[in-house]
Amino acid sequence: MRQCDFCSRPIGPTRHTREGYVVGHYKAMTGELERIEQSVEERTYAFFRLRDPHDLVICPQCMEDPEKRGRYLG
């Protein structure tokens, strides 16, 4: 069984019912960012490319915790 990458709780799938759903886990991606600039018709656009991506699996309790959420949302 998969575990949360922050607290090691076991996680399950999202459960769907007639009234709604219960989220079992979230997935996020992190890694080194590379800044890229591209010029198009005298305008320069900047964006970031994710290099060496790493998947995170996060339980609902950690996703709701502002202290832990700050680790992966910057």
Where are the domains positioned within the chain? Answer: 15-73
Is the Cα torsion angle 60, 8, 65, 70 positive or negative in sign? negative
Q: What percent of the chain has pLDDT over 70?
A: 92
Q: What is the pTM of this model?
A: 0.67
Q: Tell me the C-alpha distance between 27 and 17, whole Å.
A: 21
21 falls in which pLDDT band (50, 70, 90)? very high
Among left, alpha and beta (phi > 0; psi -120 to 50; other), residue 20 is left
Return the SS3 of 63: helix
67 falls in which pLDDT band (50, 70, 90)? confident
φ, ψ at 15 (rounded to 5°): -105, 130
φ, ψ at 44 (rounded to 5°): -110, 125
